[in-house]
A = this chain, B = another copy of it.
């Protein structure tokens, strides 16, 4: 494949209904510095200036709310919409169905608006070379493994925390998503790994948090404030 001609896609997965937020507004629509989280996230991919075609996967019942937000915020970043599925797996599959050309696709959580340009570029570049790229950071907490009625200590240095964007060759990920859904498909790396592919880890960033609680939203606001000062 000629790298120069490789098409670049990003599938932004916004399935969540935000129950953990204790809020009627789905978490991806909550405002961060006045702008819905999801718009921050989409803009991060558009701002990369490497010509990424963005596909937003959104549950059908949220489409009208999204359209209202787009009008209200004069949001002009081009986005194709796919319908959300029953699980994250089915949502990603619906997004993949919209990819027309071969290339590299990033799959990214809608509620990770703090992803850096560095991580985005590194993920596409590594996937171009190796077929996939998955950002990871060290696990700082002590963890224990639960086995039937007891728990055992495990060496945390042998584990890492996985983030998104996870990038893949479109050919590989489309083939991976032909498999039947399994409950242990918690991210795209797991699905692609089930094909027998070796997952390439790249450096993630502690700031690239997933916003799932009101406290996370405050953390995100602080990160943005600190970036504005720096």
How many interface residues does A have (CB within 8 Å)? 43
Cross-chain contact A161 with B142 (CB below 8 angstroms): yes
Alpha-carbon distance between A146 and B157 when the two chains are bound, in angstroms: 8
Q: Are B162 and A143 in contact (CB under 8 A)?
A: yes
- Measured CA separation A162–B212 after assembly (Å): 20
Chain B residues within an 8 Å CB radius of A219: 215, 218-219, 222
What 1/0 flags go to A133-147 for Cβ under 8 Å of B? 010100111111111
A213 lies within 8 A of B206 (CB) = yes
Closest B residue to A136 using CB positions: B144
Q: Contact: A143 with B161, CB < 8 Å?
A: yes
Q: A147: which B residues are within 8 A, CB to CB?
A: 158
Whether B199 pairs with A151 at a CB distance below 8 angstroms is yes
Q: Say whether B162 contacts A199, CB under 8 Å.
A: no
Which residues of A does B touch, CB under 8 Å? 134, 136, 139-147, 150-156, 158-162, 184, 186-187, 189-190, 193, 198-199, 201, 206-207, 210, 212-213, 215, 218-219, 222-223, 226
